Amino acid sequence: CPSSPKLPSTPSEKCGVLNVTKITEHGKKVRKNWASTWTVLQGSSLLFAKGQGSGTSWSYCRNGSFPEILLSLLSNWKRSIKPQPAVSYTRCRYARAPSFGGNQTKPEFSVDLRGGSVEWASKEKSSKKHVIELKTRAGTDLLIQSEIESVVSDWFRALSETINTHAWE
Ligand code: I3S
């Protein structure tokens, strides 16, 4: 897992891409806004960075730096996908696993798991499959989901263990 510059000595215990939405913020119900979210479990905190995926993607690259790839993707799209032969492109694979230490210096939001709880969300909470409901002491409640059941089960276990470990703090 990529580590956070804010917590350089703390290795992250678990990370991955999950679908996440807040359902309650400071005790008040909020409208769902499901987003694919890079999620990192670090100590008793769960950190989120929206809009970032993991793994690798194919792209047309010039020098391989991420902003250049984005620019080249944009210009390629404008030129109807195929890159122009005048510029030399190579098809390359680049890592999409983001790091809070990369261009994103801090997580978009985070929750403190101490005093929180996790349970499998009821059908009333979401029509999706494999949904965890995470309630925090601060009154920010989240739904966490993946289409892959084993992924969600692993997160359920990790979150439960973390909450139990930090129960008395
Ligand atoms: O619990 P809800 O409000 O029925 O959740 C659904 C809505 O948030 C919906 O958005 P709009 O109300 O803006 O159309 C989402 O698109 C759905 O994904 C939400 O339901 P699920 O069951 O997917 O959590």
Ligand 1 neighbour 120 (Cβ under 6 A):
no
C-alpha distances (whole Å) from 128 to each of 43, 148, 149, 150, 164 are: 28, 12, 11, 15, 27
Q: Counting atoms of ligand 1 from 1, which one is nearest the CA of 23?
A: 1
Sorted by sequence, the CB contacts under 8 Å of residue 118 that are 6+ apart come out as 132, 133, 134, 135, 156, 159, 160, 163
ipTM of the complex: 0.90
Ligand 1 neighbour 122 (Cβ under 6 A):
no
Q: Which of 32, 126, 127, 147 maximizes ligand 1 atoms within 8 Å of its Cβ, making it the mutation to test the pocket?
A: 32
Q: Counting atoms of ligand 1 from 1, which one is nearest the CA of 125?
A: 1
Ligand 1 neighbour 145 (Cβ under 6 A):
no
Distance (Å, rounded) from C-alpha 75 to C-alpha 38? 27
Distance (Å, rounded) from C-alpha 124 to C-alpha 113? 24
Tens of pLDDT along the chain (169 residues) come to 665 444 444 556 899 999 999 999 999 999 999 999 999 999 999 999 875 444 444 444 444 444 454 555 566 555 555 555 555 555 544 445 455 544 555 678 899 999 999 999 999 999 999 999 999 999 999 999 999 999 999 999 999 999 999 877 6
What is the torsional sign of CA 168, 9, 151, 146?
A: positive
Ligand 1 neighbour 19 (Cβ under 6 A):
no
